[in-house]
């Protein structure tokens, strides 16, 4: 996809690193080793069953971030995301659709800090997608949250069990639904990400913009428990 420039959306340096969507570790956890003998198949609007012999395929990456931001500045967020996913997978059988996930249980120590890091992973994804698609997002606000390690009040995460096409194992993001104001600035955005049997919902909503589903999505300002969602079918 075409990008406005090749700058890192967080710090403005050359975007020399790639951000996976879904995350490479999620794909590894879900599919195991990926190689010539055991490849993956990539499908999109322009690719049909494209053979992937490695998770490091450029098709799975957005090149909108620099190595420093991708590695050091957002490393905690990546780890918090991984840990959250591991918790989901190892404890999945205990969670009914209406149950809550307490971050105290997900993260055994520094749970609040690490819950914030988990939240900042969603902030990072929104920033990457906005840059990748050249959307008029308030990127300064998103990058500020990452650089200052503080919550972003506009970004929410929802998690639920995938109930549809449950006999098929796959992973991938949906398209993005956005709402813009009169100046063309995105004021609300929604997209989904499937990772195996779990489905994540990411919502961006500027203050005052009501988006259905925010009630049971999570932002650190709403506390440190996350409701498992029963997504609208």
Residues in contact with another protein by CB under 8 A are 1, 21-22, 27, 31, 40-45, 47-49, 52, 59-60, 129, 132-133, 135, 164-165, 168-183, 187-188, 190-192, 206-213, 231-233
Minimum distance of another protein from residue 14's CB (angstroms):
23
| 17-20 and 61-65 beta bridge pairing | antiparallel
Instruction: Report the C-alpha dihedral over residues 6, 11, 17, 23, rounded to 10 degrees.
Output: -120
Cβ proximity to another protein, 115 vs 128, nearer residue: 128
Residues 75 and 25: beta-carbon distance below 8 Å? no
Minimum distance of another protein from residue 102's CB (angstroms):
27
- The residue to which tokens 């104001």 are assigned: 181
Cβ proximity to another protein, 107 vs 126, nearer residue: 126
Classify residue 214 by burial, with Cβ atoms within 10 Å: 0-12, 13-18, 19+: middle
Minimum distance of another protein from residue 177's CB (angstroms):
4
Residue 34: CA count within 13 A, CB half-sphere = 19
Minimum distance of another protein from residue 217's CB (angstroms):
12
CB neighbour list of residue 13: distance below 8 Å, 6 or more residues apart: 7, 66, 68, 69
Coil, strand or helix at 131: helix
Minimum distance of another protein from residue 196's CB (angstroms):
11
Cβ proximity to another protein, 43 vs 71, nearer residue: 43
Residues pairing with 201 in the sheet: 158, 192
Nearest residue to 143 via CA among 23, 15, 57: 15
Minimum distance of another protein from residue 195's CB (angstroms):
10
Cβ proximity to another protein, 50 vs 225, nearer residue: 50
Cβ proximity to another protein, 94 vs 232, nearer residue: 232
Q: What does the block give as tokens for 99?
A: 């149950």
Cβ proximity to another protein, 45 vs 90, nearer residue: 45
């Amino acid at each position: 996809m075409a990008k406005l420039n090749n700058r890192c959306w967080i710090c403005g340096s050359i975007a020399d690193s790639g951000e996976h969507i879904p995350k490479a570790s999620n794909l590894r956890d879900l599919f195991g080793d990926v190689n010539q003998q055991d490849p993956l198949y990539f499908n999109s609007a322009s690719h049909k069953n494209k053979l992937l012999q490695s998770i490091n395929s450029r098709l799975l990456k957005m090149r909108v971030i620099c190595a420093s931001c991708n590695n050091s500045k957002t490393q905690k967020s990546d780890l918090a995301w991984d840990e959250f996913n591991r918790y989901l997978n190892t404890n999945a059988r205990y969670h009914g659709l209406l149950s809550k996930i307490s971050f105290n249980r997900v993260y055994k120590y520094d749970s609040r800090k690490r819950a914030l890091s988990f939240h900042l992973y969603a902030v990072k994804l929104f920033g990457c997608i906005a840059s990748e698609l050249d959307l008029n997002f308030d990127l300064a606000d998103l990058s500020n949250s990452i650089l200052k390690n503080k919550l972003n009040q506009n970004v929410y995460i929802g998690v639920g069990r995938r109930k549809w096409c449950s006999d098929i194992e796959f992973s991938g993001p949906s398209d993005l639904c956005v709402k813009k104001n009169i100046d063309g600035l995105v004021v609300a955005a929604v997209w989904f990400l499937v990772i195996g049997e779990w489905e994540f919902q990411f919502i961006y909503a500027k203050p005052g913009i009501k988006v259905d589903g925010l009630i049971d999505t999570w932002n650190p300002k709403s506390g440190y428990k996350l409701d498992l969602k029963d997504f609208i079918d």
